[in-house]
Amino acid sequence: MNKLFRVFILFIIFAFSLTACGLPSGGGDSPTSATEPPSSGDQVATVVASTMQALTPNSPDSPTPQPAGILPHSLYFVNNDSAGIAQIFRLDADGKTTTQITFEPSAVGRYDVSQIDGSVVYVSNNQLLLINADGSGRRALVDGGPVDPDYQFAEGINNPTFSPDGQTIAFGHRGLVLYAVSTGVSNTVVENVIGDLGGGLGPGLMYVPQRYSPDGTKILITVAIPNSDGVSSGIYYPAAGLLLPVNGEDGAAVCCGEQGWAWDSSALYAGISSVGMFGSGLWRVDASNGDMTTLLPTESGGNYNLASEPYLAPDGQLYFFFANLPATEEFVSRPPLQIVRSAPDGVTGRTVLLPETFQLMNEALWAPDASFVIAAIAPTDAVYAGGALELFYTHAEAGFLTLAPFGQQLKWGP
């Protein structure tokens, strides 16, 4: 596959997919809207948008009775409203009460939730917008203006993320930008490097934030490098103004939203559960120096190691989705993953926790203590973003719950 095309596809994946690699969720940074002319990105997103279901305040029946307070925090996600426009919804901790909190005329794209006061920052119509926890007080923070569809991935506003103290919003807009909530001042701390992209002007290096570390001292950055094999990662230290590159290994792809911070911010874990563009496997990145360690190589003993959604929990154990399959095919997609728990090395004491397999999972969100995981299960194998939101406890006897008929971009509230 042409190297430039590979990187272009990967950038679409990280900018518009959920935490699992899949189809984009919309043009410019958002799921498709039924009210605006589609851009090229919108056309790619049509399959995803057609599966998103309009929500009503009533949640569907669940296989298991839902007691009050089943969630440790409110749960946020994106789905279509009754007009077919992607909006942000909140599911309360009771697991039943669903509230629509944005009412944009254009589709909502990437967003984040302040862990201090529940305010929500999001992108719509190439604007960075902020609302209060109850949806009131809507205000535009940054207006990105019109974007040439050929360069929307480089020029559009994307991937806003709150610092843990709620004082800073990091986002991508021609580079890595930090917005001070108290003063309203934006500061571009790492600029995209302009180069040649397919015969026209485009970024030689694109810097887009993914998420702050839990302690707030670091920001995980995706770095897209056109005309190379690389979409890679970096770790930005705001206090020092330092961008630390992740020192990758051959075949590893610590990028595209597949990474997860350890609960203590000491490391990043990344897993890939497909074989093709990159090799599958499981990796750990030391946040102090960017050095990567392979925990599970792509292939061992004639079998593929397929890993996804790793999370090093406060109990010191690593939780992730895993399958070990014979390496008989050149390409592997959507294997039957199972939830496992192991020591931080991904190997020692590895135990399958549930009998269920997750072959159509597009995204997952772990409980902070890893006592359960919420998975977005696609309705068919043709849907690569979002799905029915199912809660699976990591101790099998507790069963599972259905939380919502469809959602994507799952995030915890405060």
The pLDDT assigned to 206 comes to 86
110-114, 146-150, 192-196, 227-231: lowest mean pLDDT where?
Answer: 227-231
Helix (H, G, I), strand (E, B) or coil at 397: helix
The pLDDT assigned to 250 comes to 56
| Residue 63 banded pLDDT, cuts 50, 70, 90 | very low
64 in Cβ contact with 400 (< 8 Å):
yes
CA 150 distance to own-chain centroid: 24
Instruction: Return the closest-CA partner of residue 344 out of 299, 300, 314, 306.
Output: 314
For residue range 356-403, list pLDDT tens digits in order. 999 999 999 999 999 999 999 999 999 999 999 999 999 877 788 999
| Residue 66 banded pLDDT, cuts 50, 70, 90 | very low
Q: What angle do CA 116, 28, 51 make, to 5 degrees?
A: 85
End-to-end CA distance of the chain: 43
Helix (H, G, I), strand (E, B) or coil at 256: coil
The pLDDT assigned to 395 comes to 87
The pLDDT assigned to 148 comes to 76
| Residue 146 banded pLDDT, cuts 50, 70, 90 | confident
Question: Which residues, 6+ apart, have CB-to-CB distance to 145 below 8 Å?
Answer: 126
Q: Which domain holds residue 50?
A: 3-412
| Residue 44 banded pLDDT, cuts 50, 70, 90 | very low
| Residue 252 banded pLDDT, cuts 50, 70, 90 | low
Residue 240 belongs to domain with CATH number? 2.130.10.10
The pLDDT assigned to 49 comes to 44
> Rounded distance, CA 264 to CA 215, Å?
7
91 in Cβ contact with 75 (< 8 Å):
yes
Name the region of 353 (left: φ>0; alpha: ψ -120 to 50; beta: rest): alpha
7-21, 308-322, 334-348: lowest mean pLDDT where?
Answer: 7-21
What's the chain's average pLDDT? 82
The pLDDT assigned to 75 comes to 98
Please tell me which of 105-119, 233-247, 268-282 the model is most confident about, judged by mean pLDDT: 105-119
Distances (CA, A) of 118 to 21, 163, 188: 27, 12, 25
21 pLDDT higher than 60: no
**What is the average pLDDT across 351-356?**
96
Structure token pair of residue 54: 């309009």
The pLDDT assigned to 16 comes to 40
| Residue 190 banded pLDDT, cuts 50, 70, 90 | very high
The pLDDT assigned to 224 comes to 77
Name the residue with higher pLDDT: 214 or 9.
Answer: 214
Phi and psi torsions of 175, nearest 5°: 145, -170
pTM attached to this predicted model = 0.83
18 pLDDT higher than 80: no
The pLDDT assigned to 97 comes to 96
11 pLDDT higher than 60: no
**What is the average pLDDT across 258-283?**
88
| Residue 247 banded pLDDT, cuts 50, 70, 90 | confident
> Rounded distance, CA 10 to CA 208, Å?
13
> Based on the structure, what is the number of domains in the chain?
1
The pLDDT assigned to 5 comes to 35
Phi and psi torsions of 155, nearest 5°: -100, -20
Question: Which residues, 6+ apart, have CB-to-CB distance to 78 below 8 Å?
Answer: 25, 31, 86, 87, 88, 89, 108, 111, 386, 407, 408, 409
Helix (H, G, I), strand (E, B) or coil at 312: strand
> Rounded distance, CA 403 to CA 382, Å?
22
**What is the average pLDDT across 111-129?**
97
For residue range 193-241, list pLDDT tens digits in order. 876 655 555 557 889 999 999 999 999 998 876 545 556 789 999 999 9
Phi and psi torsions of 143, nearest 5°: -110, 115
**What is the average pLDDT across 312-322?**
96
